[in-house]
Amino acid sequence: MFFDTASFKIIDEFSTFVWDSTYPRITEEITDITGITLDMLMKNHLLPEGALRTLQLRIDNLKPKAFIAHNAGFDKSFLLAEAERCGFKIELPFVCSMRDFKHPEKFKCKKLSHLALDYGVPINPEDLHRAVGDIHVMIKMLEKMEANFEDVLSRAHLKDIVIRAVVPPPFGPKSDGGVGKDKAKSLGYNWNNDTKIWTKTVKEDQIEKEQNELGYRVIIVG
Q: What is the pLDDT of residue 125?
A: 86
Q: What is the pLDDT of residue 205?
A: 92
Q: What is the pLDDT of residue 186?
A: 86
Q: What is the pLDDT of residue 210?
A: 93
Q: What is the pLDDT of residue 153?
A: 94
pLDDT in tens, the chain (222 residues): 999 999 999 999 999 999 999 999 899 999 998 999 999 999 999 999 999 999 999 999 999 999 999 999 899 999 999 999 999 999 999 999 998 998 998 898 889 999 999 999 999 888 888 899 999 999 999 999 999 999 999 999 999 999 999 999 999 998 999 999 999 988 889 999 999 999 999 999 999 999 999 999 999 998
**What is the domain partition of the chain in residue ranges?**
2-154, 160-220
Q: What is the pLDDT of residue 216?
A: 95
Distance from C-alpha of 3 to C-alpha of 9, rounded to nearest angstrom: 5
CATH of 2-154, one of 3.40.640.10, 3.30.420.10, 2.20.130.10, 3.40.630.10: 3.30.420.10
Q: What is the pLDDT of residue 128?
A: 83
Q: What is the pLDDT of residue 122?
A: 93
Distance from C-alpha of 19 to C-alpha of 25, rounded to nearest angstrom: 10
Q: What is the pLDDT of residue 7?
A: 95
Distance from C-alpha of 138 to C-alpha of 115, rounded to nearest angstrom: 9
Q: What is the pLDDT of residue 222?
A: 87
Q: What is the pLDDT of residue 126?
A: 81
